[in-house]
Amino acid sequence: MLIRPRRLRRTAAVRDMVRETKVSPDDFIAPLFVAHGRGIKEPIASLPGQFRFSPDTVSEEVKEIHALGIPSVILFGLPDSKDESGSRSWADDGVVQMAIKKIKDKVPSMVVITDVCLCEYTSHGHCGILKGETVDNDETIELLARQAVSHAKAGADMVAPSDMMDGRIGAVRQELDTEGYQDTAVMAYSAKYASGFYGPFRDAADSAPQFGDRSSYQMDPANAREALREIRLDIEEGADIVMVKPALAYLDIIRAARQETLLPLAAYNVSGEYAMVKAAARNGWIDGKRVMLEILTAIRRAGADIILTYFAKEAARELRA
Ligand code: PBG
């Protein structure tokens, strides 16, 4: 007797029945870029299909995202001005703070997450305060905590520190609690690698470092055990959700993280991963939609519960069709 696994691949209905991994729009977090100004919906060249919005236009986009069954957005800010300490990041009238209020006003049930980092707000483009040419850890985490509180105050449901300073999850958690925001959740970019895949994002958010790179704070792509150490630390410090970033070249890390923790696990399908698919599809070299769904499925299969992805709307449309 021949063992015939092909019996379970015979028809679409049988394949549906035995499919191990499902992807759904409610697994997605849609990233959004908000710029200072009014009436803006500006295409981002390096991320085809993505736009920069202003606080007054972003809620229209969020309505569409909501209508597609996507429960959550994560906001990145492009401020009106930058300085050495990134002070526009914790201003009550800052661009992200204004966007949060507009979104919560128009689509109250949308889960609004904010990226907490200084790189979009500092004149030098590094993720913290500089002492000479190095980023000062302990001064930086105080400013990150201040930024997190100002997002919570504006109405964010969740804050997501992406800077990779040591102790920032604890500092953010403590400051949120002290200021009365015990119910604001923290999604930690726990295992965030110093990656070439962030290229298009830095264009979109105008956040490329003016000198050097981020290797003295983000993780070395060669390290896997260290990711688990970072995840453990963030959980001890009070993270509610942990994240691995990027996703596609780090599926082994996602799997290891899944085995490490009972917390919800997020993976960030980053800008370079999106741009590669878009560029190849434009050239007719791959079927973009098919590859998109294959990638999202692979990230879920590796063990992620939640996927931050620029494909959110497009994939939701495909999945509902
Ligand atoms: C901010 C931040 C970055 C990304 C998310 N938050 C850029 C970076 O670390 O340089 C990258 C997201 C993407 O590439 O899609 N620190």
Q: What is the pLDDT of residue 240?
A: 98
Q: What percentage of the chain exceeds 90 in pLDDT?
A: 99
Q: What is the pLDDT of residue 184?
A: 98
Q: Which two tokens stand for residue 141?
A: 């985490």
What are the residue ranges spanned by the domains of the chain? Answer: 24-241
Does pLDDT of 321 surpass 90? no
- Going from the C-alpha of 298 to that of each of 20, 33, 184, 255, 291, the distances in angstroms are 11, 26, 30, 11, 10
Q: How far is the CA of 248 from the centre of ligand 1 (A)?
A: 15
Q: How far is the CA of 201 from the centre of ligand 1 (A)?
A: 6
Does pLDDT of 31 surpass 90? yes
Split at pLDDT 50, 70, 90, the class of 105 is: very high
What is the per-residue DSSP string for 10-44?
A: SSHHHHHHH------GGGEEEEEEEESSSS-EEE-
- Of ligand 1's listed atoms, the one at least distance from the Cα of 127 is 16
Q: What is the pLDDT of residue 96?
A: 98
pLDDT tens for residues 138-195? Answer: 999 999 999 999 999 999 999 999 999 999 999 999 999 999 999 999 999 999 999 9
Q: How far is the CA of 198 from the centre of ligand 1 (A)?
A: 6
Q: Please give the average per-residue pLDDT across 97-109, as a whole number.
A: 98
Q: What is the pLDDT of residue 243?
A: 98
Does pLDDT of 320 surpass 90? no
Mean model confidence pLDDT for the chain: 97
What is the per-residue DSSP string for 85-153?
A: T-GGGG-TTSHHHHHHHHHHHH-TTSEEEEEE-STTTBTT--SS-EETTEE-HHHHHHHHHHHHHHHHH
Q: What is the pLDDT of residue 3?
A: 98
Any atom of ligand 1 within 6 Å of the Cβ of 273: no
pLDDT tens for residues 63-79? Answer: 999 999 999 999 999 99
Q: Please give the average per-residue pLDDT across 208-218, as a whole number.
A: 94
pLDDT tens for residues 264-296? Answer: 999 999 999 999 999 999 999 999 999 999 999
Of the CA atoms within 13 Å of residue 245, those in its CB half-sphere come to 24
* Second CATH level (architecture) for the domain 24-241: Alpha-Beta Barrel (3.20)
- Of ligand 1's listed atoms, the one at least distance from the Cα of 162 is 16
